[in-house]
Amino acid sequence: MILIVDDRPENIFSLKTLLELHGFRTDTAESGEEALKKVLNQSYALIILDVQMPVMDGFEVADAILGFSKAKDTPIIFLSAANIEKHFITQGYTSGGMDYVTKPVDPDILLFKVKTFHKLSEQRRELIMVQSSLRSEIENRKKTQQELDSRIEELHSVLESLPQIAFTIATDGEVEYVNELWYKYSDKLSVFPVTHPDDSSSTSEWQTHFKQGLEFIREVRIKELATAQYLYYLLRIIPIKQNDQIMKWVGTYTDIHQHKVVNETLEQKVKERTKELSTKNVELENRNHELQQFAWVASHDLKEPLRKIQTFSHLLRDKHLKDLPDAKSYLDRTIKSSERMSDLINALLDYSRLSVSSFFEKTNLNTVLNEILSDLEVTITEKNAIVNASEMPVVDGVHSQLRQVFQNLISNSLKFSRPDVFPHINITSELISEKSFTSPVSALGEYCRIVVSDNGIGFDEKYLDKVFTIFQRLNDRRLYEGTGIGLAIAKKIIEKHNGIITAKSKENEGASFILVFPLHQIVLEQHNEI
């Protein structure tokens, strides 16, 4: 847009016509004031300004335009008919004019000038636009840089405040920043702390991780400069990514020395303790073995003279005392005592034999019960006893031991019967799901619950824990024979079969012994400690 300023409308018209004929768009003002108003509102590529105008002449208008920052660079062509003297022309240039054309105007020349200025003006406008976009770009970059700087500063201040040794590594692998603590272990920023010779592989490991862009974690010992001592640190270097691109690496050395030393001491202590314990264990095993041997040998060696006492007592009684009733009575008591002693020794022998390890095998408890009942047949008949047994399972067990359990329980039931009541013994078995006395019945259960109950003298349940203890007798020996070992043996055996045993009873109403043990044993050899 070109602004034509002239106080004469005919001048304006001819210029306007000329310029529009050549494709320029124009605007017009008929006075300096009008021109200034327009310049304020719009920017022009060129102003053609008449010098001689009433009120405000062309130079004054140009001066005013110079004062507008927005328009000050707009080129001005002065048109003048009268003032063709040099000083007028000079004033025109100093007023910011670009050219000075005197009237009468040669339209071709004016047109050339207008074209040139217009072109210049367009180029300038473009230049200004480019410049401003460049400026904003520079602004942007400055801002980004500032942000980046403040971020790095933030990172550094965070790293500085860490209790760890912290550092960053650029993508070329060079250390670019370290915090204060670094210098306790290295003189230079670019040099990593010295690692212990045994940890030297860490360098190449890190190189591999660096190349693959993978986080690196490793325990290393590094040398403290002041003490020349190697201390344990946890080295961790992680890649910092932006848009999947590694920007840098941030690394830390965390002090784990205390922890490590404590751990090592602990480990050492545990090792020592374990060694002590295993030594003690061996000692204990030996002692245990000796004790077992002792119990066995003692019982065995006691049997020999006792058997002779019995043999000769019987001989004496049967062959030589037929006519001496008093002597026979004394000897009967001797024989009775020696029989009791023999029972005790046999029970002790059985108990000590339990410590010998043995293997579990498929044991049919029906067979076991039948064997016992046939052994006890005489006593059962003598006592008019009734024994009922339900179907028993086949279990993993030691035949001789399980037999002893049932033998002891059934013998007890026969032994501790009430004087005026025939013994009635019930043996029942059911499969259950858990190793518990109260577990519900389950057809697919992995445990069996066997109950041996009788209608004998029973016992007070407050003595429950005593009945399973070796040499604990609840009953008067004059009335009821017994070694006091039978139930202790039964408990030991059931425990060796990974089972549990308990009893329920009321005095003078009978007793029930409840056994729960697994159908299948996982380890087929029994532990052999007592």
Closest contact distance (angstroms) between CB of 518 and other proteins is 25
Instruction: Tell me the chain's radius of gyration from C-alpha atoms.
Output: 59
Asked if residues 477 and 339 have their Cβ atoms less than 8 Å apart, the reply is no
Binder among 145, 263, 278, 311 for other proteins (CB under 8 A) = 311
C-alpha span between 510 and 21 (Å, rounded): 137
Question: In the complex with other proteins, which residue's Cβ is closer, 183 or 296?
Answer: 296
Strand segments (E) across 105-215: 165-169, 175-178
User: Among the candidate windows 90-98, 172-180, 298-306, 424-432, which touches other proteins by CB under 8 A?
Assistant: 298-306
CA distance 529 to 306: 29
Q: Give the chain's count of helices (H) and strands (E).
A: 13, 17
Cβ of residue 374: shortest distance to other proteins, in angstroms?
19
Q: Where are the alpha helices (H) located in 321-398, listed in sequence order?
A: 325-353, 365-375, 377-382
How far CA 179 is from CA of 192, 198, 281, in Å, comes to: 13, 26, 54
Q: Is 256 exposed, middle or buried (0-12, 13-18, 19+ CB in 10 A)?
A: middle
336 is an interface residue for other proteins by CB under 8 A: no
Q: How far is the CB of 307 from other proteins (least distance, A)?
A: 5
Kindly tell me which residue out of 308, 336, 506, 527 binds other proteins, with binding defined by CB under 8 A: 308
Residue from 314, 362, 473, 477 touching other proteins (CB under 8 A): that is 314
374 lies in the site for other proteins, by CB under 8 A = no
Of 372 and 451, CB closest to other proteins: 372
Find out whether 423 and 455 touch, Cβ atoms under 8 Å.
yes
Amino acid type, 88: F
320 touches other proteins (CB under 8 A): no
Region 398-437 residues binding other proteins, contact defined as CB under 8 A: 400
Query: Is 219 one of the binding residues for other proteins (CB under 8 A)?
Result: no
Alpha-carbon span 144 to 73, nearest angstrom: 33
Of residues 124, 248, 257, 303, which one binds other proteins by CB under 8 A?
303
Residue 425: CB atoms within 10 Å:
23
The amino acid present at 74, given as its one-letter code, is T
Binds other proteins by CB under 8 A, chosen from 153, 283, 318, 529: 318
Going from the C-alpha of 521 to that of each of 359, 368, 384, 395, 450, the distances in angstroms are: 10, 18, 38, 8, 17
Q: Which is closer to other proteins, CB of 16 or CB of 492?
A: 492
Q: How far is the CB of 334 from other proteins (least distance, A)?
A: 12
Q: Pick one of 196, 248, 353, 418: the residue that binds other proteins (CB under 8 A).
A: 353
Among the listed ranges 304-312, 364-372, 375-383, 501-509, the one in contact with other proteins (CB under 8 A) is 304-312
Place of tokens 């002590």: 276
Q: What are the percentages of helix, strand and coil residues in the chain, rounded to 5?
A: 50, 20, 30
Residue in 10, 304, 326, 420 binding other proteins, rule: CB under 8 A = 304
What is the closest distance, in whole angstroms, from the C-beta atom of residue 489 to other proteins in the complex? 16
342 scored as a contact of other proteins (CB under 8 A) = yes
Q: Is 300 in the site for other proteins (CB under 8 A)?
A: yes
**392 DSSP 8-state letter:** P
CB of 430 to other proteins, least distance (A): 32
The residue count for the chain: 530
Kindly tell me which of 351 and 416 has the beta carbon lying closer to other proteins. 351
The nearest distance, CB 292 to other proteins, in angstroms, is 13
Question: Binding residues for other proteins, per CB under 8 A?
Answer: 300, 303-304, 306-308, 310-312, 314-315, 318, 338-339, 342, 349, 353, 400
